[in-house]
Structure formats: structure tokens, C-alpha cells
């Protein structure tokens, strides 16, 4: 086994791939920035003067109609649900690679942001939100897929963690931007933060010109020579030639096996055989973020702080994001050094249960009191560190590494669609729970999320396998052989051993066969 572990080279030798994955992960920063900005707008006088109404009884002096609040927040999710219908079929096209998906998302994002900046009607905001949602579908699906397919197996958790930390970083930047602009008079107070949304798409579009395409997608398209060149660029000299060939041969064999089973990717296949188990896990992990209550704090964070009696809701949002960043950095280090996927999500979800329960209890015992507000703030910070740092962060690489290479984008599109349906329901219904003109539950709303986190915890415990340190081809083998959750971490796979034997000339005839097949297909 020592020879097989030789591909797990030190962190410092993989800086090129880490940089590429970090740049692609900015797709998730765009999403974090956008949601934080929109959430903060709902507590800004300048925004409410255009889209809200004056109400001297409210702390800010201005209010927003619950229906408008629903539409502004939920149309992002509507757009994402529409977007996944396109992302699911996009890879079938000859030019439907991961990089091309980023470029399409960028064009749509530019249009969506421009519409929001130029309108003064709720209907215009909704159209812009929907377009940004479509772009998010492209960004999240293709960037997450690219990171998972390109990262070395032992650093996939780190690279996925970088993808997971980006919404928090983006949210922090968005909150800071709004905080600086909140005192500006007129429309500029919200148009300026919106204009900053052009930054991330621009960086992503330029980056995509200079990075290689996903080698696994190229292999699915029978472009073998390009795939090998892409892998060589991604590894950047971190592997010896023999080890590079070993990894590439393992990829080739895995893709050829998948293509031998079926050609293309259909909706039906995602729910058949071993793929059904993979789809259930992927969808479940994706939806765990909605079940955690995270969407409530993302979409209504600043507004919720304001209604909870927090003196400085904008400042509190920044502290929360900062705590989340600290927790995520610590969690990424733990995932690299010590912890697997299962311990991280289980620990994070337990933290979410406790945090939501404690926040709800304080709001029930002393509703509207300063003590309840302080209790809410404290547990929200703990939630951001424990759940946001561990479970929410590691969920991103898990969702991308569980599906097969052939069905990865289709499965992620389905999971994203289901996740955003739940997110839309939460965004649409939450105003009725928290708005003073409706149920006005305030912090008691957290009771609901304490219960949903318990359900998530049970799901993770019984269904989520440990895949840390496994190549994507090894994960394919584990699912095809129907290995149980408890045996996933210790099962010895054959595909890595066979790739090692092929490259070390133990089976030279197999090397010739695979090389010839790849070249013939490419020609």
C-alpha cells in the first residue's frame, strides 16, 4: 500500500492546483456576496424608501411588505431551479465543458445584476433576481464539479473546503460593503453594492481562459491526449512521471468502465441500481443546508437581527461572518490533518441542533428582552463556527465526489434543484413567521430548525459513508460493489492497485490496449 500512497504528495507541491481550485471557488463567493447584500437591503432605509413603506413604529422607521420580502428573496431560488434544467443537459454538447459553463453563467450574471441596478419596481428586481439565480446554477454546478474532478484525492477535502468557505467570505464582503454604503442617501446606497457583483463573474470568466479543462470531462468526450495534458498542468510537477501515469491510467480505466456500462447520461439512470444510493446521499447532503436553518440567516440575517432587538444588526452580521470564516479555516485544517467527512458533518450537525434549541429557548422564555437578544447573538456565532465551519463546509466536496463521473453534473443538477425548491419554500414562508405584521415569532422560529437538524443527524449517521482519501474511481468501485457504510473507510479497492501494476509494467499489454483505444476514439 505504500506505493499507492506515494501520489499523496505534500501540500506545498500542489500549490498550482490549489490556486486553480481557489479561483474557481470564487463562483461560490458570488453567491455569498449576493445573498448577504440582498438580506441587508431589507434593513436599509435607502432601499426601503424605494421598495418599502414608512412606519414610525419600527426601529428603522421603514418597513417592507411581507409579500415583497418573499418575492425579492425567493426569486433567486426560482431562477436557480430554472437554471438546473439547463445545467443538467449542458455537458452533452461538444463545447459543454466545465469552463464553458462558467462563461455562460457570467453572461447571465451580468444581465441580472444590470437589471436590478436599473429598476425601481419590485417586478424588475424579481426578474434580475431570477437571472442571477440561473447564473448561480451554472456557477455552483460547474465550479464545484471542476474542483472535485481536478483536485488530488488527498486534497479534495481541502479544495472542497475552499469552495465551502467562499459563501462566508462573499457574505462578509457583502455585509461590509452594505455597512459602508448604508448612510448614503438615495438609490446609490444599494446600487453601489450591487455594482460590486460584477467583480466575481469578471474574475471567473478571465480565469477560465487560462486554466485547463477538467481531465475527466475530456476523457468522457474521448479527448485522451488533451485530458493527459490537462492533468499534467493541474499537477504542476507534484508527481513523478510514473505516478502521474498511474493516476491517469486509473482515470482512463474508470471512465472506460463507465462508458462500457452505458453511453451518455439520462434522468432515469440517476435513480437506478447503485446510482440510486448515490443520488439519495447527494440530494440529502445538499438539502441538509436548507434543513439546518442556514437559509434563514443567509436570506434574512440582518433583518432578523434587527427584529430580535440587536442594537447594530449590520455589525452583528459582520461578526457572524467573521466567526464563520474562523470556524471554516479551522475545519479545513482538521479535514486535512485528522477528520474524515462523517465526523465533520456529524459534529457540525450536533452543533446546529444545540444552537437552534438554545436560541429558541431564550426567545420563548423572555421574548423581546435584551437578554434573549444577547442569547440569540451568542448562539448564532456558535452556530456559524460549528455548523458553518464543519458540516456546511465539508458538504460541498461530498456532494461532488459521491456521484459517478458520467452522471456527476446531472446528479448535482437534480440535487441543486431539490435544494433550491426547499430554499424557495423557506424564503417564501419565513416572512410570515418573522415579520411583525404576520406571526411575529421572532427567535421562537428556531424551534422548527432544531427539529429539522435532528432529522438530518439521523440521515448522516445511517447513510453517509466515509470517502476521505479515496480517488473518484475508488468511490465508483465502492458503490458498484455495494459496500456498506461501516466498511467504506477500510475496504481495499482494486482499481488503484491495477493502475499501479499497469504503470510499473506488470501488465504491459494492458497499457498498449488502453492507449490505442484512447487514440482511436480521439481521431
Q: What's 16-225+240-479's CATH class?
A: mainly alpha
Q: Where are the domains of the chain?
A: 16-225+240-479
Q: Name the grid cell of 205.
A: 470568466
Per-residue pLDDT of the chain (523 residues; tens, 9 = 90+): 334 477 788 888 899 999 999 999 999 898 888 887 887 776 677 777 777 777 766 666 676 776 777 777 778 888 888 898 888 878 777 777 899 999 999 999 999 999 988 888 888 888 999 999 999 999 988 998 999 899 898 888 888 888 888 888 888 888 888 878 877 777 888 888 889 999 999 999 999 999 999 999 898 888 999 999 999 999 988 888 888 888 899 898 888 887 777 655 677 888 988 899 999 999 999 889 888 987 666 666 666 666 666 667 767 777 777 888 888 888 888 888 888 899 999 999 999 999 999 988 988 888 777 777 778 888 888 988 899 888 988 888 898 899 988 888 889 888 888 888 887 788 777 777 777 777 777 778 889 999 999 999 999 999 999 998 888 888 988 999 999 999 998 888 887 777 777 887 654 444 433 443 344 333 3
DSSP 108-170: HHHHHHHHHHH--SHHHHHHHHHHHHHHHHHHHHHHHHHHHHHS-GGGHHHHHHHHHHHHHHH
**How far apart are alpha carbons 255 and 275 in whole angstroms?**
15
Measured distance CA(342)–CA(509) in Å, rounded:
40
Q: Measured between alpha carbons, how far is 7 from 239 in angstroms, rounded to an integer? A: 7
Amino acid at each position: 500500500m505504500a506505493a499507492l500512497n506515494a501520489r499523496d504528495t505534500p501540500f506545498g507541491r500542489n500549490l498550482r492546483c490549489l490556486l486553480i481550485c481557489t479561483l474557481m471557488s470564487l463562483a461560490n463567493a458570488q453567491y455569498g456576496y449576493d445573498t448577504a447584500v440582498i438580506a441587508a437591503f431589507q434593513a436599509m432605509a435607502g432601499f426601503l424608501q424605494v421598495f418599502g413603506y414608512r412606519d414610525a413604529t419600527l426601529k428603522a422607521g421603514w418597513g417592507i411588505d411581507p409579500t415583497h420580502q418573499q418575492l425579492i428573496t425567493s426569486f433567486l431560488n426560482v431562477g436557480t431551479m430554472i437554471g438546473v434544467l439547463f445545467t443538467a443537459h449542458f455537458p452533452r454538447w461538444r463545447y459543454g465543458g466545465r469552463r464553458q459553463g462558467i462563461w455562460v453563467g457570467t453572461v447571465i450574471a451580468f444581465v441580472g445584476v444590470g437589471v436590478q441596478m436599473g429598476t425601481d419596481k419590485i417586478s424588475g428586481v424579481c426578474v434580475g433576481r431570477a437571472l442571477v439565480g440561473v447564473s448561480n446554477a451554472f456557477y455552483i454546478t460547474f465550479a464545484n464539479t471542476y474542483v472535485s474532478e481536478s483536485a488530488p484525492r488527498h486534497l479534495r477535502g481541502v479544495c472542497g473546503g475552499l469552495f465551502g468557505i467562499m459563501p462566508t467570505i462573499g457574505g462578509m464582503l457583502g455585509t461590509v460593503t452594505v455597512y459602508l454604503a448604508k448612510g448614503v442617501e438615495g438609490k446609490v446606497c444599494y446600487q453601489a453594492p450591487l455594482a460590486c457583483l460584477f467583480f466575481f463573474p469578471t474574475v471567473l470568466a478571465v480565469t477560465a481562459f487560462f486554466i485547463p479543462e477538467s481531465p475527466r470531462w475530456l476523457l468522457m468526450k474521448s479527448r485522451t491526449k488533451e485530458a493527459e495534458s490537462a492533468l499534467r498542468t493541474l499537477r504542476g510537477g507534484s508527481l513523478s512521471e510514473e505516478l502521474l501515469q498511474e493516476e491517469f491510467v486509473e482515470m482512463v480505466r474508470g471512465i472506460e468502465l463507465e462508458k462500457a456500462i452505458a453511453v451518455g447520461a439520462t434522468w432515469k439512470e440517476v435513480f437506478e441500481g447503485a446510482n440510486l444510493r448515490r443520488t439519495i446521499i447527494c440530494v440529502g447532503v445538499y438539502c441538509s443546508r436548507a434543513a439546518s436553518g442556514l437559509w434563514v440567516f443567509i436570506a434574512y440575517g440582518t433583518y432578523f437581527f434587527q427584529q430580535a432587538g440587536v442594537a447594530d444588526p449590520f455589525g452583528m452580521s459582520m461578526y457572524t461572518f467573521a466567526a464563520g470564516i474562523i470556524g471554516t479555516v479551522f475545519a479545513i485544517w482538521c479535514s486535512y490533518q485528522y477528520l474524515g467527512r462523517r465526523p465533520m458533518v456529524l459534529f457540525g450537525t450536533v452543533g446546529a441542533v444545540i444552537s437552534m434549541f438554545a436560541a429558541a429557548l431564550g426567545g420563548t422564555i423572555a421574548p423581546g428582552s435584551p437578554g434573549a437578544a444577547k442569547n440569540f447573538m451568542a448562539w448564532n456565532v456558535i452556530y456559524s463556527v460549528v455548523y458553518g465551519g464543519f458540516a456546511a463546509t465539508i458538504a460541498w466536496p461530498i456532494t461532488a465526489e459521491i456521484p459517478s463521473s458520467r452522471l456527476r453534473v446531472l446528479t448535482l443538477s437534480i440535487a441543486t434543484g431539490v435544494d433550491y425548491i426547499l430554499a424557495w419554500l423557506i424564503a417564501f414562508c419565513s416572512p410570515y413567521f418573522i415579520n411583525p405584521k404576520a406571526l411575529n415569532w421572532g427567535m421562537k422560529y428556531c424551534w422548527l430548525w432544531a427539529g429539522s437538524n435532528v432529522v438530518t443527524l439521523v440521515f448522516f449517521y445511517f447513510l453517509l459513508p466515509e470517502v476521505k482519501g479515496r480517488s473518484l474511481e475508488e468511490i465508483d468501485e465502492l458503490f458498484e460493489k455495494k459496500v456498506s457504510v461501516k466498511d467504506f473507510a477500510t475496504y481495499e479497492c482494486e482499481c488503484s492497485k491495477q493502475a499501479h501494476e499497469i504503470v510499473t509494467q506488470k501488465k504491459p499489454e494492458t497499457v498498449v490496449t488502453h492507449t490505442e483505444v484512447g487514440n482511436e476514439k480521439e481521431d
